[in-house]
Amino acid sequence: MDKEFAQKFGEEWVAAWNSRDLNKILSHYTNDFEMSSPVIMQLVGKPDGILKGKKAVRDYWSKALEMHPELHFKLISVFVGVSSVLVQYQGHRGASAEMFCFDGNGKVIKAYAHYK
């Protein structure tokens, strides 16, 4: 993982969300990726807060986008790990951060959302 990849990923990820285009958003992820978020517990009613696979996450994100037409992210900072990136941003929930773990092809295999 290098700073250039991490920064580019963060910028493209925020731009994809701001476009509200699910195909662009999901293009960053593997087909079987895992998403963890406290909002999953609220919106989907899954006590573990985890969804697996693009189909399940697409349905969840589609519902979230529909519920929040004002959704817009502003990139704050990008942090680099060994095989992960943390994207800090300002969103409709306020200060937020998501950690992304990558496979060898630069696609997200796990993502963890955090909200203040």
Look at the alpha carbons of 74, 80, 81, 85 in this order and tell me if their dihedral is positive or negative.
Answer: positive
Cα 61–Cα 65–Cα 69 angle in degrees, nearest 5: 170
The boundaries of the domain holding residue 24 are 3-115
* CATH number of the domain residue 98 falls in: 3.10.450.50
What's the total number of domains in the chain?
Answer: 1
* pLDDT at residue 45, as a whole number: 87
Q: Decide: 112 and 88 in contact? Cβ < 8 Å.
A: no
* pLDDT at residue 34, as a whole number: 98
Task: Calculate mean pLDDT across residues 83-103.
Answer: 96
Structure confidence by residue, pLDDT tens digits, 2-43: 999 999 999 999 999 999 999 999 999 999 999 999 999 988
pTM: 0.94
Task: Calculate mean pLDDT across residues 80-109.
Answer: 96
